[in-house]
C-alpha cells in the first residue's frame, strides 16, 4: 500500500468512526463529563459533523484531531489507534481487523 493509499484508508476509517462511533471506543474526560448531558449531546452531534480540518490540526491528513467550542468551553478530540485488546498501539491503523480506534474528548485545559 502506498503512503497516499494508507492515509486515505486511515482518514476514511477515522471519519466513519467519528460519524457513527461504531467499531471503536468513545471516552469523555472527567472535565467533559462534568459539563453534563446537554453538552454531551452537543459534542456527539458536532463530532459527527466536524469538517474543519486544515494543516494546523491535521498535518498528516488522517482526520484524527479537532477542536470544538461547546457551552463556552474549548474542547479537543483525538483518535488513537490500539490493538484489539487495547494493550498496545496498533501495528496498522489502516487495517480495521487489527485496530481498535479510541476517540477521547477533553477540555483544552486537560490536554
Asked if pLDDT for residue 68 goes beyond 90, the answer is yes
Asked if pLDDT for residue 22 goes beyond 90, the answer is yes
User: In this predicted structure, what is the pLDDT of residue 111?
Assistant: 84
Q: What are phi and psi of 95, to 5 degrees?
A: -115, 105
Q: With H, G, I as helix, E, B as strand and everything else as coil, classify residue 43.
A: helix
Four-residue CA torsion sign, 6, 66, 88, 15: negative
Q: What percent of the chain has pLDDT over 70?
A: 100
User: In this predicted structure, what is the pLDDT of residue 1?
Assistant: 77
Cα gap 66→87, rounded to integer Å? 25
What average pLDDT does the chain have? 95
- Kindly state the cell numbers that stand for 111: 490536554
Cβ contact 11:66 at 8 Å:
no
User: In this predicted structure, what is the pLDDT of residue 37?
Assistant: 87
Domain span at 62:
3-110
Q: pLDDT for 30-49, tens place per residue?
A: 999 999 989 999 999 999 99
Q: Total domain count for the chain?
A: 1
Amino acid at each position: 500500500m502506498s503512503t497516499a493509499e494508507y492515509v486515505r484508508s486511515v482518514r476514511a476509517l477515522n471519519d466513519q468512526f467519528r460519524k457513527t462511533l461504531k467499531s471503536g471506543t468513545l471516552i469523555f474526560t472527567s472535565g467533559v463529563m462534568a459539563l453534563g448531558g446537554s453538552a454531551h449531546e452537543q459534542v456527539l452531534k458536532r463530532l459527527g459533523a466536524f469538517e474543519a480540518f486544515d494543516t494546523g490540526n491535521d498535518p498528516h491528513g488522517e482526520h484524527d484531531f479537532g477542536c470544538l467550542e461547546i457551552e463556552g468551553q474549548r474542547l479537543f478530540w483525538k483518535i488513537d489507534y490500539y490493538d484489539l485488546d487495547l494493550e498496545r498501539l496498533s501495528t496498522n491503523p489502516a487495517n480495521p481487523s487489527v485496530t481498535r480506534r479510541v476517540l477521547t474528548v477533553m477540555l483544552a485545559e486537560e490536554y
